[in-house]
Copies of this chain bind each other. A is one copy, B any other.
Amino acid sequence: MVKKAITIRDIARMAGVSPGTVSRAINSSPLVSLETRQKVMQVVKALNYVPNRVAQRLATGKTLTLAVIVPFFTAPSVTERLKGVVSTLARSRYDLIIHNIEDPQQRADCFRTIPRRDRVDGVLVISISPTDEEVPLLAEASVPIVLIDAHHPALTMLHQITVDDVAGGRAVTEYLIGLGHTRIGFVGDPADNPFNFTSSRDRACGYRQALEAAGIPYRPEYYVETPHGRQPARESAKRMLALPDRPTAIFAASDVQAVGVLEAARELGVRVPQDLSVVGYDDVEIAEILGLTTMRQMLFHSGQRGVELLLKTLENPETEPEYEVLPTELVIRDTTSPPP
Query: Which positions in A face B, CB cutoff 8 Å?
Result: 2-3, 5, 50, 52-55, 57-58, 63, 65, 72-74, 79, 83, 86-87, 89-90, 95-100, 102, 106, 113, 116-119, 142, 230, 259, 263, 285-286, 289-290
Is the Cβ of A106 less than 8 Å from the Cβ of B90? yes
Is the Cβ of A65 less than 8 Å from the Cβ of B118? no
Task: Please state the number of chain copies in the assembly.
Answer: 2
Is the Cβ of A116 less than 8 Å from the Cβ of B50? yes
Known A54-B57, A96-B97, A100-B90; judge A74-B83 contact (CB<8 A).
yes
Known A55-B118, A97-B97; judge A50-B286 contact (CB<8 A).
no
A58 to B230, CA, bound (A): 46
Q: Which residues of B contact A97 (CB under 8 A)?
A: 65, 95-98
16 contacts between A and B (CB under 8 A): A2-B142, A5-B142, A50-B116, A52-B58, A53-B116, A53-B118, A54-B63, A73-B86, A87-B100, A89-B100, A95-B97, A96-B98, A230-B289, A259-B289, A285-B286, A286-B286
Task: Choose among A65, A102, A116, A289 the residue with the greatest number of B CB atoms under 10 Å from its CB.
Answer: A289
